[in-house]
Amino acid sequence: MQILCMGEALIDMLSTKGKPGVDENNESFRKFAGGAPANVAVAAAKLGGESYLFGKLGKDQFGDYLLKTLKALGVNTRFTTYSDKGKTALAFVGLDADGERSFDFYIENAAHIDLSVKDLDDGLFACPRIVSFCSGSVSMPSLRDVTKEAIKGFKQAGSILCLDINLRPAFWDDAALAPEKIDETARQVDFIKASKEELVELYGEANIEGRIQSWLAAGVSLVLVTNGGEPVVFYSKDTQGVFPTPDVNAVDTTAAGDAFVGGFLYQLSSQVTDCDSFKAWSQNAEEIMHALQFATQCGAHAVSHYGAFDALPTQQDIQQQKA
């Protein structure tokens, strides 16, 4: 199946502070192509999958750089267009000694927000696809309107809807709405990926299990919960389990979750054909764990390299990692 990612592509400005040999008082920033939906599209393409990005870029040097880079890495940009009024968003990324990130987003009048229902090309719904998007797609009223209509079209096409929560409070016009709007959206999809940290922030640690079970009761087929270097926990209607993550020396966790999602969706794309076949697939714990083995290897590779697109692995990278 084709993998269609919906949402932002932006520029990560990655700080040199904390890197070996860098003067702490002489901080600089290096430009990297990024944005979670774009990262997932690139992750799938670099592994050999057929991926698309649906979203908008700014008519500026950063937008041109992103479009050129997406194409060079194999992402189909048929549904990637330029905004007539928005600029490419920037994310300044700081890293601590363990490679953990802190973000400062510059997203006012950003190009990726400049979406309307009129941008929903009929080609988006021409065949069943694996459709991946993040909570940023419901972070403000205009995007919620587009996403609501898009979900209807994707469901009618038999697509598999994947929500990667990827919580970014700075994206929201009103961050207090995030728990409610994310929950509403989660109940409409087939597959959810979240980190434990996100679920704690949204719903409280004591409520995580109940929230996941409510999503499964609403019709979600599979929920994956990551927790840094701890095992991944998976939930489906009839099965539940854990899968360990590889030991790795993390230098930059920027693309960790996106590499994981991209790797998992790449594995899924060769094993299912539509939403109904995914529902059957998600009841097989062995199949889920096989996909998780590959996905966690992708994530491990990403955290051992700097940047986003640059850190995402190829098949050769994964094979070398196994050796």
Separation of alpha carbons 235 and 222, rounded Å? 6
* Residue appearing with tokens 């403000």: 140
Q: Write the pLDDT tens digit of every residue in 131-152.
A: 999 999 999 999 999 999 999 9
* Residue-level pLDDT at 70: 97
* Residue appearing with tokens 């600029």: 87
pLDDT of 19 > 70? The answer is no
pLDDT of 99 > 60? The answer is no
Torsion on CA atoms 38, 42, 43, 48, rounded to nearest 10: 150
Q: Give the DSSP letter of residue 110.
A: B
Could you tell me if 2 and 80 are in contact, meaning their C-beta atoms sit under 8 angstroms apart? no
Could you tell me if 215 and 177 are in contact, meaning their C-beta atoms sit under 8 angstroms apart? no
- CATH says 3-8+36-56+117-322 is which class? alpha beta
Residue 190 in 3-state DSSP?
coil
Measured CA angle at 291 (ends 285, 292), to 5 deg = 85
The total of other beta-carbon atoms located within 10 Å of residue 177's CB is 16
Q: Write the pLDDT tens digit of every residue in 170-213.
A: 999 999 999 999 999 999 999 999 999 999 999 999 999 999 99
Lowest mean pLDDT among 9-23, 103-117, 270-284: 9-23
Cut 0.75: pTM above it: yes
Domain boundaries, the chain: 3-8+36-56+117-322
Residue 321 in 3-state DSSP?
helix
What are the structure tokens assigned to 127, written together? Answer: 């065949």
